[in-house]
Structure formats: C-alpha cells, structure tokens
Amino acid sequence: MSRRTTHAYKPLSLKRRAWITVGAVVLGGAGIVTYAVATPSSDPADKAAGSRKAATHTLKLKDEGSGRKGLPQQATDRFSAVLLTWSDPDAKPKGTPEVRYRALETGKWSSWQKLPDDPFSADGKEAERAGTRGGTASVWTGDADGVQVRVIGTDGTPAKGQPAGMDVRLLDPGTDPVTKGHATEPAAYALPVEETTPAATDTATPADPTTTNSPAPTDPATSDSATPSDSPVPTDTASPADTAPATTEPPSPTPSPSDTVPAPRPSTVVKPPVITQAEWGASTDYDGTPEYGTEIKAAVVHHTGVDSDNTLSCGESRARLRTIQQEHFSRGFFDIGYNFVVDRCGQIFEGRSGGMDLPVIGAHDVGFNTNTVGISYIGNYETAKPSRAGLEAISRIVAWKFGMYGVDPNGKVTLVSGSAKGQDGNLVDKGTSITLPTVFGHRDTNATACPGANLYPKLAEIRRYAASAGKNSAIPTADFNRDGVSDLAAGTPKASGGVGSVTLVPGGLNGPVPASKVSLTQNSAGVPGSSEAGDNWGAATAWGDVNGDGYADLAVGAPGEDDTSGNTDRGSVTVLYGPALNTGLSYATSTVTAAGAKLGSAVTAGDFNADGKADVFAAGTGNGGNWNARLTGGATQTGTLTTSTSAIAYADAATGDFNRDGYADVALNYRDAGGIGRVTWFKGGASGLTKVSTLSVKGGRSIAAGDVNGNGYDDLVIGQPYTSESGAVSGGQVTMVPGTSTGFTTTGMTTIQQDTTGVPGANESGDALGSSVSVGDYNLDGYADVLAGAPNEDITRDSVNRSNAGTALLLKGSSTGLTGSGTIAVSQDTSGVPGNTETDDKLGSAVSLTDLSGYGRTDLTLGTEGEDGGDGILLYVPSNSTGLGLTQGAVYSKTQLGTPTGAHLGQLLTP
C-alpha cells in the first residue's frame, strides 16, 4: 500500500498498557497524545501452523498507446481480491475497468468481472493529510494466482485517455488468525514520537507480478497484531428499557473532529457479540490515528456493493474484511472506512479501530462521517435480497450505539454537511443542514445507489427492530466454533444400550467436515454426570448462546437420568459452553414430581426475556407432562402440561418469535394421555415464558418454526404423520400455522400431503409424512421452506418393493404460505444421490434444513437411522444457485463419525 510520512498508530504491549485507564488522555514525550482505548490481547501461541501473512501485490498496467491501459494474462502471487488504483484521486477511468483471474484450485480463468466505482469517502483531517489515490472497489475472487486487466469502452474495445499511474492491487488476506475466545480487556494505544514511514511513490510500481512494492500488513496470527476493540460495557444481565428516549436534534454548526478521546458512555441496550479486529485478523499498519466526534446522532447503512460478495460464504467473511481493509489502505484511508460490518449470517465485525464504544469518525459518507456510525452489509443488494439475520445484526448495532446517547431509531435528526457539494458524490453544500431519519441510507446524502434497491426499503424494518425488545436479544446461532458456518448435532440416545451420545459435525466452506467431528458422552472430559445405561443422553438437543459470548452452546436432554435420591427417570438437561464444550452445567426438575418426570424429552433454546443471553426450555413426558425454562443466572420457571398423571409422548419443541414482539416464544408438541396430538404456546416476555394456551390445531410428532410466508412473523410447522393423533390423511401431512401480532391464526393455514397438487408420489397409508420437519430458506427467495421426512415410504426399484425405505419432501414457502408447487422428493434412489434404497432404511427419520456451508442457502441433511442394520447414516445434499446439488451429496456413517454399532445415527438432528 502507499505509505506517507505520518504518525503510525501502533498498539502497546499488554504490560505497557496495564496502567492506563479507558478514556484517559495523557501526554507522552514531546507533547505526544497517548490514546487510551480498548484492545484484545494476542498470544504468540495463537500463531497457527501453516499460517500465511497478508500481503498486497501491485502490478503496473501496461501502456497500450493513446492512453490505453491494460495488463495481459499472466501468473501472479496468490491473492483473493483485486482493485485498480491511479494517481489522481479526482480522475475517473474512461470506460469500464474489468478483470479476469485464474482460480488457484482449478486453474480455470474466470469470465470478465467489472470493477465498481468507489468514491473516496473520507473528509476532514483524514482527507487533508492522506496522499490519496483514485480507485475502484475491490472485487472478491477467491484464491487465485493469475490476472488479466482491461478498461473498455461502450463498443467493447480498449478505451483511450486513462488516468496516469494506473495499477492493479492483488490483495492476499493471508490466513485467519487462531483465536482462543473473546478478549475484551481495556488497553491503551500510544502515538510514538515522530515515527515516520516512507512517502508514497506511485511511479515505482513494478511490473513483475511476483514483486510486492509495499510492505505487507502485519501477520494477523502473530502477537504484534493486537488491534483496537471496545472497552467494557455494562453487564448483559441488566434490564434495559425497550426503547430509547426520543430526541429532537436542532441544527448545529458543522461538526469538528477531535483528537481528544471522549469518555465511553454506557448504553441502555445490551451489546451484541462483535468479532473484533484481532479476531478477524486486521492489520495494525494504520495510516494515522483515529479521530472522534462528540456523540452518535445517526446511523448510515451501506452495502459493499460488489456482485462477487454475494457469492461469499460467511466462513470467508473474515478474509473479506481483511481485503476491504487492504483496499481502504490502498486508497489512503487511516483504516477500514466503516465502523461496523455485518454479513448475511448475522455476524457483526468491528470495523474502524479506535474503540467500538466511542464516536470514532469513519470514512463511509463524505460530509457526514462525524457523529454518525457507518454500518456496511457485505453484498450487492441491488440484486441480492438481505437476510433476516443480516438486518437484525444491523439493528442490534444501531440500538447499542443509539442507547449510549438516547437516540430514537424511529426519530429524525438534523445534520450539517462537513464537505462541499459534489465532493465524491456528496449531495449537500458544506454548512447546509439536512433533516433525515436517524437511520438512513448512504444514498440519502450521496449520489450513489448504496445500500441497494433491496436493502434500502428494509431500513424501516431495521428501525422497527432497533426499537423493539429484540434489540437486546441473543443472536440465534448454531455455530459452536464461531467460524461463520452453522454446525450440526446428531443425537444418538440409543447408543451403547441407551447410554446415549451426541456427535457434532462442524460446517465448512464445502459443507460438513466429518474429520473435525466432536463426540460427546457423559463420560467426556468436563461433561457433568457419568454415562449410565438407560439415560438416553442426546434424546433432544438445542443450540443457543447461553452465556452471551458469541459461541453457540449445546443443550442436551437425558430423560432417563436417575438422580442421587432414588428418583428413577427424573431426567436432566446438560448445557455445554462453546467452543470447547468441556465446561457447563446440568440440572433436573423443580417444583414437579421428580420420579418419572423424564425432563429432557424435548429441549429448545431462545432468548425468552430478551436480555442478551439464550435461555433453555425443556419438557418431560412423565406424570402428565412438565416443562422447565431456565433463564439467565439460573432463575427457573416450571409447570405441568396437563391435569393427567399418565405419561404423554412424542414431545418436540421449537423456538420462534410468533407475535413479532422481540421475545422468543416456544411451541411444544406432544401426544396427550388420550392419544391426541397437542401444541401448547409459551409466550416470551420481560419476565420469561408464560404458558398461554393449547392450540385448536392438533399436534403430531414433530414441530419447527420459521417465516414461511415472508411477512416477518415466525410461523409454526407441524408434522402430522398419523390420523388417530392429528386427524391427518392416512399417509401423513404437514401443516403450517401462521403467526400474527396476537399469536397464531388459522386464517392462511395450509396443509400439504402427497395428494396435494405438485407433490410427487401419492398418499399411502403408513408413509408417516411429517415424522420429522425442519424449516429454512434453501433458494434464498425470502420465504422459509420446509423439509419433511416420510421414513415409512415404500419405494419400488427394479420391480422390487423396499418397504420403509423412506423419502423426504422439500416443500416451498410462498407469500400465501406453504405450497405443493415445485415440491422436490429426495430418496436414495434419486438420480445423483449416493447409495440405494433398502428395506427399513427409514430415510427421513430426522431432517435438517440448515446452512452448513455459509452461502446463505440452507442445505439438506437427511437422517437414515435404519441404514446398515440400525447403525444409521446421515445423507447430506447441498443447495446451490440452481437448486439442489444432488450429485454433490455425501454420506456420513459410523466410519466417518465414530458412532457405535446400532446407535441409529440419524434418529435426531439439530438444528
């Protein structure tokens, strides 16, 4: 990157910063200001074997005559993103800059990719002191080792009159840092006395692709790469107000940035887990020091605006952040321009350094960088549709920052432009006031499409959520190792004679990673209790961030657990904390009859009281049924389900915000003592759960939740495989019950079975469609879809009937709810799917519709518990941009996952 004579902003060591308190400003030698902000520590032991330093490789474009510039196809050092820069920051390319690249893994060259325009967004002192270059936005390429560049006119030929000093920057993000956890200790940053760096020399750009003409950013995995983070915030267990007080902002003079660090302010809103600069591997080779406003008055929503970002896995978001920082360094910014960045999976990243809980001035909206917080969403939302997780992530940051200053997310604010009209797209004359919503889009103040045609209309939803109770709620997660990709839990309660076990299969860029499996029993290190026959440990599992550290924690039910007082089958629930899953707690029933309670027959997790940490709900099937909700800090709510003392059966629970009030609710399915399926609704609120009612719609054997009709309310999906329990057709059915502001309604309720138009096959007695259900959006159309198992489906192949071979149906969501149109059936006889159907395989014994690769589309995992004589398997089918990747499917058996013989792998899956 280009370097200038400036003060380099570098972190102090842990020992040197121990004496400085947060918010302090002291004078060092020669009157140098020492900034006291916050940073995580970095341990040399974190350096991973085989790690690769981040680097920027610069190649000068060739002069092709008449001002034409380009670069012929050539091999290069490894890179993952690319941008063009040129000497004059006010110049623009004539025509369209485009790039091709060679994929490192396959050796194939890509099609031509456009490099989008990216106006310089810094202003004030940062813009004045920076020796800036003009440039494009960076385009993510993935791992590549070859490049070709052209700038073409409208006629498709090389365009004349290109700016001087044109080069291509190849950005290698290096490898992700190895982090042990969430470091949040306060720290100080010192401005060394008169430390200087070489001045930029644009003409010194070498043509040799193996040469790097600028120093590589600090290795993100080494101990000298500690970066700014936030200072401590009020405890998450406080009860913040549901809405921040509204404020009226009078017009004010043009804001003046300050070198003085303001004191951090507490927020009335729980701080969401944020991936710090150290955790995503930011470089600390800053071009200057942070500047500060006096407060936060508004939030500016952006998108990165690059098509290739729509193809990123959330597992690559950290690497993408590093390339965006490299891009902004190349453009002359002090650091990455955005204050925060989010991705489609709901991950929140610290952007610009200087203190997340301080009003750091960004470089994201020229003229309006001071006293605003800039939040960018990875992707181009002119074409892509924003995810619910991404929108909620933006809302949580907005609410937390606004909670420090009493800003109403639904209010208005008057801001004053700090830059000239027309400067880098600024629409407002310097010194002129403009009244805006407190949450506005970049295009409201700049001549840009940002944040995109599909994200801009969602600003109202961001405002709504930021003002609701949901702003304080724990982020739903199934990512126990916090790598950006959800992980799968397979419960095998029948394993080893009913001892039970749970096998965790991490997700990865290419789907499940069986080589990194984690096998757990009650005999595993750190797991409470001990393994005993009949415990059925793993009969139910759930993911949720119980301790609020950003890692998914695992709740495991053991309905056959006996207590030490002689109460047989009292049951228990174990909670294990991610990422290590070797610490946690275990608890049993309270206030209900202990013997035979079988607590842990069903478990689910969600933030029922919206305090920033997930709570655990469990149900027991003994003595008429019982329920237990364990809240943050150990507070417990309990009760019975029916007035009977006879056992209930087939308990299953799902969490969702069915009335859209910001509190997670629970829907519990069970078969009562009279043999009738029931569903009971437990409503979340500030005090936890309240048992509201039992629905008129009958229950079945499985239950799931998600927004099937896309209206913002979670809907309930009930699997009803049997007529006697549910009034279902003889082969079973799936029923969707819409959520509303007042709860559930039968208006708009839809039921799908195999005689429904568009559904493959035919209704046949005993198929047991609905024995398992799962909800997720497999095609990214904004409507949650439903995967339903029919494990007793008979399938004929080669004129031979395979009874109970099993099948699964992928049912599509729509604006009118669940529909049979376009339904896809998947079995082991489906073309491209591994394996073959066999009698009593029972494919569909459990199903999961979960994104296990991080690309946003949910993948199919089908439990087949009867395969191989009851050993069981998991069948994985990925989704892709054209539908299902049936030929890319994979089978995971006891050979890959290490489950015991006869464990019935595939009986239970979470999520």
Q: What confidence tens digit (pLDDT) does each residue in 383-427 have?
A: 999 999 999 999 999 999 999 999 999 999 999 999 999 998 999
Q: In whole angstroms, what is the distance from residue 434 CA to residue 422 CA?
A: 16
What is the Cα Rg of the chain in Å? 28
Average pLDDT over residues 280-296: 94
Q: In whole angstroms, what is the distance from residue 885 CA to residue 859 CA?
A: 9
Across all residues in the chain, what is the average pLDDT?
A: 87
Instruction: Specify the DSSP class assigned to residue 163.
Output: P
For residue 476, give Cα distances in angstroms to 550, 607, 628, 739. Answer: 9, 8, 20, 19
pLDDT the model gives residue 603: 98
Instruction: Specify the DSSP class assigned to residue 224.
Output: G
Q: In whole angstroms, what is the distance from residue 307 CA to residue 383 CA?
A: 8
Q: Is 531 helix (H, G, I), strand (E, B) or coil?
A: coil
- Nearest 10 degrees: Cα torsion 465, 470, 471, 472: 170
Count the alpha carbons within 13 Å of 798 in the hemisphere toward its beta carbon: 4
| Cis before 173? omega within 30 | no
pLDDT the model gives residue 257: 67
pLDDT the model gives residue 339: 98
For residue 154, give Cα distances in angstroms to 83, 159, 257. Answer: 21, 8, 43
Average pLDDT over residues 776-784: 95
pLDDT the model gives residue 183: 35
* Predicted confidence (pLDDT) per residue in 588-597, tens digit: 999 999 999 9
For residue 452, give Cα distances in angstroms to 99, 850, 856. Answer: 23, 27, 18
Between residues 124 and 442, which one has the greater pLDDT?
A: 442
> Lowest-pLDDT range, 244-258, 496-510, 879-893?
244-258
For residue 834, pLDDT over 90 is answered with yes
Based on the number of CB atoms within 10 Å of its own CB, is 309 exposed (0-12), middle (13-18) or buried (19 or more)? buried
Structure tokens at 236: 């998450």
For residue 714, pLDDT over 50 is answered with yes
Count the alpha carbons within 13 Å of 415 in the hemisphere toward its beta carbon: 29
The closest alpha carbon to 794, from 810, 808, 805, belongs to 805
For residue 214, pLDDT over 80 is answered with no
Q: In whole angstroms, what is the distance from residue 878 CA to residue 859 CA?
A: 5
Q: Is 132 helix (H, G, I), strand (E, B) or coil?
A: coil
* Predicted confidence (pLDDT) per residue in 232-275, tens digit: 333 333 333 333 333 344 444 556 666 688 899 999 999 999 99
> Lowest-pLDDT range, 49-58, 357-366, 681-690, 766-775?
49-58
Q: In whole angstroms, what is the distance from residue 28 CA to residue 23 CA?
A: 16
For residue 902, pLDDT over 70 is answered with yes
pLDDT-derived band of residue 31, with 50, 70 and 90 as boundaries? very low
pLDDT-derived band of residue 21, with 50, 70 and 90 as boundaries? very low
Q: In whole angstroms, what is the distance from residue 33 CA to residue 18 CA?
A: 17
Greatest pairwise CA separation for the chain in angstroms: 92
- 49's CB contacts (< 8 A; 6+ apart) are none
β-bridge mates for residue 340, sequence order:
350, 375
- Nearest 10 degrees: Cα torsion 323, 325, 326, 330: 140
Average pLDDT over residues 461-474: 97
Based on the number of CB atoms within 10 Å of its own CB, is 30 exposed (0-12), middle (13-18) or buried (19 or more)? exposed
Count the alpha carbons within 13 Å of 494 in the hemisphere toward its beta carbon: 13
Q: Is 427 helix (H, G, I), strand (E, B) or coil?
A: coil
pLDDT-derived band of residue 51, with 50, 70 and 90 as boundaries? confident
For residue 856, give Cα distances in angstroms to 252, 346, 654. Answer: 43, 11, 21
Which amino acid, one-letter code, is at 651? A
Q: In whole angstroms, what is the distance from residue 511 CA to residue 207 CA?
A: 39
pLDDT the model gives residue 255: 63
Instruction: Specify the DSSP class assigned to residue 395.
Output: H
pLDDT the model gives residue 254: 56
Q: In whole angstroms, what is the distance from residue 241 CA to residue 238 CA?
A: 10
Q: Which phi and psi angles does 557 have, rounded to 5°? A: -95, 145
Instruction: Specify the DSSP class assigned to residue 294.
Output: S
Q: In whole angstroms, what is the distance from residue 455 CA to residue 377 CA?
A: 9
pLDDT-derived band of residue 132, with 50, 70 and 90 as boundaries? confident
Between residues 634 and 410, which one has the greater pLDDT?
A: 410
* Predicted confidence (pLDDT) per residue in 667-703, tens digit: 999 999 999 999 999 999 999 999 999 999 999 999 9
